[in-house]
Structure 1
Amino acid sequence: MQCETAVRPAVAGDVGELSALLAEAFVSNPVASWLIGGVAARYTTFLRVFEVELTQALSHGIVRVAGDGAGVAVWQPYPMVLETVTAHDRALLGAVGIYRRRFAHLRAARDEHRSAALRLPTGPDRPERPDQRAEATEVAVAAGEAGETTEVAGHELVWWAAAPWLRRRRIGAALLDDHQRRLDAAGLVGHTVTDEPYVRDLLARHGWRTPGPRHLSPAGPPLWSMRREPGAVRRGYGR
């Protein structure tokens, strides 16, 4: 039997190492490639971005580390207070430099996807086929505009990665299990956005649902907004 990976809270001294891990993990990511064409510029820009994201999350969110820095998960309670959002946005704009327009587009798309995920129907009668889920989400969004549903508070999985050379060792699964226990105990919804099918599938095996993909732009990569209800049952063995 494989031993469970230990998970601990991050501290300020972890920021440099974890920023490098995230930048390495995301340098070939579809959205990262869409945001910044050159690999060298992409890595250095994301290194700055992750330093901002981790520093912010240590003060206003939750950062969990797997093993001896083998993986990291960054969670953000939602909704954030306005003062925190404003300060965070200013810091990110400084980090992304000349790429701020595309990063702003990505932020708007993530906000839209979060709203879609938080309005997914709940309960035993939720649809299972992608075409049914998409239709149900459209209905739910329309109902929300009529005041019949509202977005719910929860925790957003903002960043989540294992060191690229340590993948398929259940590091990501250990990080998920660690925080999902806390979400279940508090009765909170989890939500995230991913652009990678294998991440979508791994989350699905941990009880996360999606209404289907939406493209970042007509020529951009697909994004899946995903939601997990408290106590959602795992559907298989995670990686």
Structure 2
Amino acid sequence: MGVRIRRAVVSERDFVVGLLDEAFMDDPVSRWVFPEEERRRARHAYLMGAFTDATFADGYIDLAEDGTAVALWMDVPEAAGEDQEEGVDGAAQVRAAVDPDNERVEQIARLTEAAHPTGRAHVYLWMIGVRPERQGEGLGTALMAPVLERCDREGLPAYLEASNARSRALYERLGFVFTGTAVDLPDGPSLWPMWREPQSG
């Protein structure tokens, strides 16, 4: 049976945050950002909330109808890196909102921003989360399929950062290619920036 997908609405914000919190609580990158488990349990949802709020503001969120998986997407315009408002420091703002005493919140935001390609319009998969007990059932692939089909139809590339080896393998099966330069977190894991050219046939 196929996975039914719909666009999430802002009133579902807390549900989306809870799903992402559960899906990424034990992810290697989340463990690096919040190395102490007690603090991670207390503050991780705030980070997922910041991501969710930013996506509702400037992107779109797709949700499996049964509430088991979610994807955060952004349509990035051409040369987006040159259009940031002067004086606005998004990484510092996220740190202030999420965990002011934790420099790693700001650090990871700066490192991923520096790795993000500019110059070509593309679709950005910010994150995709699946409830832990449902991982490995193809929900991530099902959530991505409609957007990647749109990319192929409209000639748009897609971009993401894989945060673990399992997700990287999934993205490779869907046509993403490692850009060749990992984001190496200091004394921590790596993220793999991946790019997908639109495909035909």
Alignment match, 2:198:
230
> Separation in 2 of the partners of 1:174 and 1:93?
32
Contact residue 8 and residue 62 of structure 2 kept, 8 A: yes
Contact residue 69 and residue 129 of structure 2 kept, 8 A: yes
> Separation in 2 of the partners of 1:28 and 1:85?
34
Choose from 99, 104, 121 the match for 1:153. Answer: 121
Is residue 216 of structure 1 aligned with residue 184 of structure 2?
A: yes
**How far off is 1:42 after superposition?**
1.2
Structure with greater helix percent: 1
Cα separation, partners in 2 of 1:228 and 1:76, compared to 1, 3 Å: same
**How far off is 1:105 after superposition?**
1.6
Choose from 111, 114, 127 the match for 1:112. Answer: 114
Alignment match, 2:159:
191
Alignment match, 1:37:
35
**How far off is 1:100 after superposition?**
4.3
- 1:13-24 counterparts in 2 under 5 A? 13-24=11-22
For structure 2, which runs of at least 5 residues remain unmatched after alignment?
A: none
> Separation in 2 of the partners of 1:24 and 1:49?
12
Alignment match, 2:3:
5
Amino acid of the structure 2 residue aligned with 1:77:
D
> Separation in 1 of the partners of 2:113 and 2:130?
25
> Separation in 2 of the partners of 1:69 and 1:11?
13
**How far off is 1:208 after superposition?**
0.3
Amino acid of the structure 2 residue aligned with 1:103:
V
Contact residue 179 and residue 195 of structure 2 kept, 8 A: no
Amino acid of the structure 2 residue aligned with 1:181:
E
Cα separation, partners in 2 of 1:223 and 1:184, compared to 1, 3 Å: same
**How far off is 1:195 after superposition?**
2.1
- 1:66-77 counterparts in 2 under 5 A? 66-77=64-75
Q: Name the % identity.
A: 24
4+ aligned runs moved over 6 Å, structure 1:
none
**How far off is 1:90 after superposition?**
6.0
> Separation in 1 of the partners of 2:95 and 2:176?
31
> Separation in 2 of the partners of 1:182 and 1:168?
24
TM-score (norm 1): 0.74
Contact residue 126 and residue 160 of structure 2 kept, 8 A: yes
